[in-house]
A and B are shown apart, each in its own frame.
Chain A
Amino acid sequence: MLSSQIKSNEIVFGCCNKDLLEEIIFYGIGLGADFVEIFIENTDNSSVLAEEDFITSVSPSFGRGAGIRIFKGKKDGFVSTNDLTKHGLMRSVSQAIEMLDITNNNREVFNGLNKHRDYSLSKKKWINEVPSIHEISEKLLVSTKSLKKNNKIITRKGSYSRNLQEVIIASSDGTYVSDIRLHQTVGLNVIASDAQYRSSGSRRFGSSGMPNEFRLWDHEKAANDVFETSMNMLYADYVDAGQMPVVLANKFGGVIFHEACGHLLETTQIERGTTPFENKLNEKIAHESVTAIDEGISEGSFGSLSVDDEGMEPEKSVLIKDGILKKFISDRAGELRTGHKRTGSGRRQNYSFAAASRMRNTYIAKGEHSKEDLINSISDGLYCKSMGGGSVGATGQFNFAVEEGYLIKNGKLTSPVKGATLIGDAKEVMPKISMCGNDLELAPGFCGSISGSVNVTVGQPHIKVDSITVGGR
């Protein structure tokens, strides 16, 4: 049946919903909205947990919902609902219009939706290609078994989650796209114990749009890494607090840039007036060795997208070039309120959040030094091999936990240390990243912010920070 022949009173996934979507948008524009955006999603998720040598949790979930956003001037009203009928969607539009107190008729014109751009065409088979719960369970159990390398390991966990999200995005500028997103993550965790000593180790891996990735995942290597971290840290002393040079490892070490600087380059921070970089475009904000990029296009990376949650294809944004600020990460509201062009970075956790400017795959570009060059350049400092989580406060101050750290003495790695926290301020730290290695690697993560938790990639080569506050004992 031709899509145009379908006259449905409800959104139907897998069909063309153009007539219904146009009707809803016409309704909103007719009531006086400057702009109407409809985001509809259908999800099919599963997660599996293995503890020791048993599967202890299998959690499927599914759901549908819509988020409707209306702009009037620079303010917006957002309504989310599980009701995908015509009546439900129109009621949501009316609610948003009423919230914004729009009473006047509009001069905006809606010329109908563009030709449907379907990014999901080659992805519809994914659901049949992803591993079954049975297959996942078997591999997770093999993985947790691999962690049992000695009797000091007292807790072993393996977890897997798969999120399949089908989205339809339509708006009054004619945007009409649909897509299917597939994200898979797998994590391993251990706790080691010996008398009064305790340590832990964890790693997370993730991909987007690669149904076979979990099958290809090298669980032995991952288990060895996690085990090694927990053993190295088991008898580690607490680090002495102080100011010191540090070398941050590649992969998840990139969380420092994500937290310390990346968030401050999102237009939501300009809107709030909470970024020190607001008026620094084309000015030097970092050491000349730093070039930083945010993009959504690396194939298979956890933060990659075919199209963002506002219907725009993601671009590769060079945020900082040789220390000079070149661009902000922007979404529709950001463009409207700050003037910075959209970058395909409008993202949200699900239909119940309005999209906001959010990072995707964010990393510091590789430099020319080897890891050894960086370590050799320090006489007394800290090597942060593995980072835990971090956060950035309202005044730009950040902190990160160091999961696995080693002292550097006279250019050599020495004893492991625990309890370290890196504390700083983006404006002060960015100029202190003086050396970048040649070993750029990326790592997946989840970023929680104004529009919920989204999949991201952080990354960097090994980098040297000349001086930073290390919290310890």
Chain B
Amino acid sequence: MNSREITTQISKAADFLNLKKWDYGASFSNDYSVQVDKGEAKQLKASQKQILTIRVWNQSNLVGITTTSDISESGIKKALRQANIASDFGNKNETTEFSPLAKDPIEVKEVKKRNPVGIKKLLTLLRGAEVKLLESHESIKSVPYNGLSESFFERVYANSEGAFRSYSKSQAALYLYARAEEKNKKPRSSGSVKLGYGADDIDIESCIEEASNKTISHLNYSSIKTNKYLICFSPESFLTIINAFSSMFNARSIIDGVSLSNKNSIGEKLSTEALNIYDDGLHEKNISSTPFDGEGTPTKRLCLINKGRIENFIHSESTARIFKTTPTGHAGLGSKVSVSPDWIVVEKSEENIELKTSLDHSTYEGEFVYIEELNAIHAGVRASQGSFSLPFDGWLYKNGKKISIESATVAGDIKYLLKNIVNIESSQEVTTSGISPHIWVDELSITGDA
């Protein structure tokens, strides 16, 4: 069945079960991936997957939901029945409705959908990449984590009031994580990830070069003395931190009491006036962009922090109603509708007067710690308390020289971090999770050697 036929099938089954109000979200995907081990194919994977999530409203306007991979006629009927039963337990204190924007026009950029290149070509490309990476430096002994994949998927949202949205696209991903070993030294590992609309769009050479350079650059390492340091966050690591604490901008988290913000936080000064942060799921560099969210609300660019102050929260239909505003296109369909950011864009605003320095990571010769990548986010971030303690990969810069840091964590508080930004570099870099310049923060605790 295609998505129109599924909609018709759901409509018929809902009529049969006397269910007047319903909506659904579905995704259909075909994925192919390869992994290699020293030139040999290791595992080759293909999957065909379909997921259907149906919500129904009962006569008391309470919502029930069911998710299934069975989109046969009987599967759809069963899902509707189960959702109807679940609606008896619907949340009476926070009702859910259709998004008022579910029929608004959506902004569909040029559809960059590629044709599959096929497993054999994926394998050839990945084998070649592995060989080149192994040959790039004598210390690189293996590429233990590697993969090249391509996915082709369609997302659908429809409801009983006639809203229907469908969007299909393709995406490919390459990751290469190399392991370097030298005598009498600990093994070191680093890597690179690249995305594209198709396998042919991926810049394989730059992925190899980045993985190699990063891995080699960690070969000469040393422990770091536990202390407070001036920190330069790479674009990737700063975006990691912002995403980890995105509950500050999340209306769902605020209502649930797990955010550092509250309903009155709009306008609160969090950082220097030089900081702007947007959520921009439709950004042209966002390979993973989708034009509508789980409730069918169009995706759009939204300013979260304007000149250091909270400007907007991200919303679903129900949180927007509670906050007396409009949905922002950040909902995930579920029994309890989730809210999450799409793609964060960090910018330097025109108000630079509060920045205490003009530090530049490529020229500064004083002592600082460069944080390249933060790890173990799920273990080291307490979003509801604002604290973090995270292992990282990075370097200590001193007297114009840099040395890789053997093993260390950076710890602090997100509000302290944002308030202590001393410079935002001008040029932005595109990463897989957003865009950001390098960000300098003073006086963060690093734990290394005692």
Residues of A participating in the B interface, judged by any CB pair closer than 8 Å? 48-49, 51, 54-65, 74-83, 92, 95-96, 98-101, 133-134, 137, 154-155, 191, 198-200, 238, 241-244, 271-274, 352, 354, 388-391, 393-397, 399-401, 418-421, 423, 425, 469-473
Looking at the assembled complex, report how far the CB atom of B444 sits from the nearest CB atom of chain A, in whole angstroms. 9
Note all chain B residues with C-beta closer than 8 A to A420. Answer: 389
Q: Are A63 and B69 in contact (CB under 8 A)?
A: yes
> Is the beta-carbon distance between B70 and A51 smaller than 8 angstroms?
no
What does the 1/0 interface line of B323-361 toward A look like (CB < 8 Å)? 000000000001110000000000000000000000000
Q: Chain B nearest CB: distance from A4 CB in Å?
A: 26
Residues of A within 8 Å of B385, CB to CB, are 198-200
Partner of B45, one of A56, A79, A191, A472: A79
Given contacts A76-B43, A82-B49, A401-B379, contact A58 B144 (CB under 8 A): no
Which residues from 82 to 133 on chain B have a C-beta closer than 8 Å to any C-beta of chain A?
82-83, 85-86, 89-94, 119-120
Are A397 and B145 within 8 A (Cβ)? no
Q: Does B5 contact A (CB under 8 A)?
A: no
What would be 9 A-B contacts, judged by CB atoms less than 8 Å apart?
Answer: A75-B42, A75-B44, A77-B46, A78-B45, A82-B49, A83-B48, A354-B43, A401-B379, A469-B450
Q: Does B267 contact A (CB under 8 A)?
A: no
| A75 & B40 in contact (Cβ 8 Å cutoff) | yes
The answer, yes or no, to whether B179 is at the interface (CB within 8 Å) is yes
Residue of A at shortest CB range from B260? A198
A469 contacts B407, CB within 8 Å?
A: yes
Which residues of B approach A to under 8 Å, CB–CB? 37, 40-50, 64-71, 78-79, 82-83, 85-86, 89-94, 119-120, 141-142, 144-145, 177, 179, 186-189, 226, 256-258, 334-336, 375-376, 378-380, 382, 384-387, 389-391, 407-409, 411-412, 445, 447-450
A423 touches B409 (CB 8 A): yes
Residues on A with beta carbons closer than 8 Å to the beta carbon of B79: 62
A394 with B145, Cβ < 8 A, contacts A61-B68, A470-B447 known: yes
By beta carbon, the residue of chain B nearest A240 is B226
Top 5 nearest A-B pairs (CB, nearest first) are A63-B69, A471-B409, A241-B447, A272-B144, A57-B336
Q: Which residues of A contact B93 (CB under 8 A)?
A: 54, 56
A449 CB to closest chain B CB (Å) equals 12
For A80, list chain B residues within 8 Å (CB): 45-49
A390 to B64, CA, bound (A): 35
Interface pair B379/A354, CB less than 8 Å apart: no
Residues on the A chain within 8 Å of B68, using CB: 61-63
Do A82 and B69 contact each other (CB < 8 Å), given the known contacts A200-B382, A389-B378, A391-B376?
yes
Q: How far is the CB of A152 from chain B (nearest CB, A)?
A: 13
Assess whether A82 is in contact with B66, with CB atoms less than 8 Å apart. no
With A58-B335, A75-B44, A77-B45 already in contact, the answer to whether A421 and B144 are too (CB < 8 A) is no
Within 8 Å CB of A391, what residues of B?
Answer: 375-376, 378-379
Docked-complex contact B411 and A78, CB < 8 angstroms: no
B residues less than 8 Å from A56 (CB atoms): 91, 93-94, 336
A418 to B379, CA, bound (A): 14
Contact present for A82 and B70 (CB under 8 Å): yes
Instruction: Tell me whether B119 and A99 are in contact (CB under 8 A).
Output: yes
Q: Which of A61, A74, A191 has the most CB of B within 10 A?
A: A61
A419 to B407, CA, bound (A): 18
| Min distance, Cβ B187 to any Cβ of chain A, angstroms | 5
Q: Point out which of A354, A390, A397 has the most chain B C-beta atoms below 10 A from its C-beta.
A: A397
Q: What separation, in Å, do the CA atoms of A64 and B75 have in the docked complex?
A: 10
Distance of A423 Cα from B69 Cα, bound (Å):
41
Question: Is B335 a contact partner of A57 (Cβ separation < 8 A)?
Answer: yes
Contacts of B94 in A (CB 8 A): 56
Looking across the interface, which residue of chain B has its beta carbon closest to that of A54? B93
Asked whether A271 lies within 8 Å of B37 as measured between CB atoms, the reply is: yes
What is the CB-to-nearest-CB distance from B222 to chain A, in angstroms, rounded to a whole number? 15
CB pair A137 B447 closer than 8 Å: no
Contact A272 B142 (CB under 8 A): yes
Given A60-B83, A272-B144, A472-B445: 7 more A-B contacts, CB < 8 Å: A62-B78, A65-B69, A78-B45, A79-B45, A198-B385, A354-B45, A472-B447
A473 near B44: Cβ-Cβ < 8 Å: no
Residues of A within 8 A of B179 (CB): 273-274, 394-395
Distance in Å: Cβ of A302 to nearest Cβ of chain B:
19
Write the nearest CB–CB distance from B153 to chain A, whole angstroms: 14
Interface of A, helix, strand, loop or mixed by DSSP: strand
Chain A hits for B69, CB < 8 A = 63-65, 82
B46 pairs with A99, CB closer than 8 A: yes
Residue of B nearest to A83 (CB): B48
| A92 CB, nearest partner CB in chain B, Å | 8
Known: A199-B385, A241-B226, A397-B407. Is A57-B380 also a contact (CB below 8 A)?
Answer: no
A57 touches B447 (CB 8 A): no
B177 — which chain A residues lie within 8 A by C-beta?
Answer: 394
- Give the residue of A62, A242, A399 whose beta carbon is less than 8 angstroms from that of B82: A62
Q: A82-B50, A273-B142, A395-B189 are in contact. Are A390 and B389 (CB under 8 A)?
A: no
A376 to B71, CA, bound (A): 62
A51 to B257 Cα, complex, angstroms: 10
Q: How far is the CA of A196 from the CA of B188 in the complex (A)?
A: 41
Instruction: Report the bound CA distance from A401 to B390 in whole Å.
Output: 9
A145 to B177, CA, bound (A): 48
- Residues of B within 8 Å of A352, CB to CB, are 47, 49
CB closest chain-B residue, reference A98: B119
Residues of B within 8 A of A98 (CB): 119
Inter-chain CA distance A109–B191, complex, in Å, is 43
Across the interface, name the chain B residue whose C-beta is closest to A74.
Answer: B40
* Cβ 8 A contact of B389, one of A62, A63, A134, A471: A471
B47 touches A390 (CB 8 A): no
- Judging by beta carbons under 8 Å apart, are A395 and B186 in contact? yes
Q: Are B187 and A395 in contact (CB under 8 A)?
A: yes
Bound Cα distance A61, B85 (Å): 12
Docked pose: A137 CA to B335 CA in angstroms: 15
Question: Counting chain A CB atoms within 10 Å of each CB, which of B37, B47, B189, B334 scores highest?
Answer: B47
Contacts of B92 in A (CB 8 A): 54
List the A side residues contacting B258 at CB < 8 Å.
155, 191
In the complex, residue of chain B having the shortest beta-carbon distance to the beta carbon of A269: B144
**Known A57-B334, A82-B70; contact A76-B49, beta-carbon cutoff 8 A:** no
Please name all residues of chain A whose beta carbon is closer than 8 Å to the beta carbon of B48 when the two chains form the complex: 80-83
A394 to B391, CA, bound (A): 13
A393–B375 contact, CB under 8 A? yes
Q: Are B226 and A242 in contact (CB under 8 A)?
A: yes
A199 to B142, CA, bound (A): 43
A99 and B44 form a contact (CB under 8 A): yes
Residues B144 and A274 in contact, CB atoms below 8 Å apart: yes
Whole-angstrom distance between the Cβ of B159 and the nearest chain A Cβ: 19
Q: Which single residue of chain B is at the shortest CB-CB distance from A421?
A: B389
Q: A62-B66, A62-B68 are in contact. Are A154 and B257 (CB under 8 A)?
A: yes
Chain A residues with Cβ under 8 A from B408's Cβ?
423, 471
Q: Would A469 and B447 be within 8 Å (CB), given that A58-B335, A75-B42, A77-B45 are in contact?
A: yes
Known: A55-B89, A241-B226, A391-B376. A61 touches B45 (CB 8 A): no
Do A471 and B411 form a contact, CB below 8 Å, given A99-B119, A273-B179? yes
Contact present for B89 and A137 (CB under 8 Å): yes
Return chain B residues, CB-CB under 8 Å to A425: 186, 407
Instruction: Point out the residue from A59, A77, A99, A389 that lies within 8 Å of B65, measured CB to CB.
Output: A59
**Bound form: Cα–Cα A430–B445 in Å:** 27
- Name the residue on A nearest B177 (C-beta): A394
CB-CB under 8 A for A423 and B447, given A62-B78, A65-B69, A274-B179 = yes
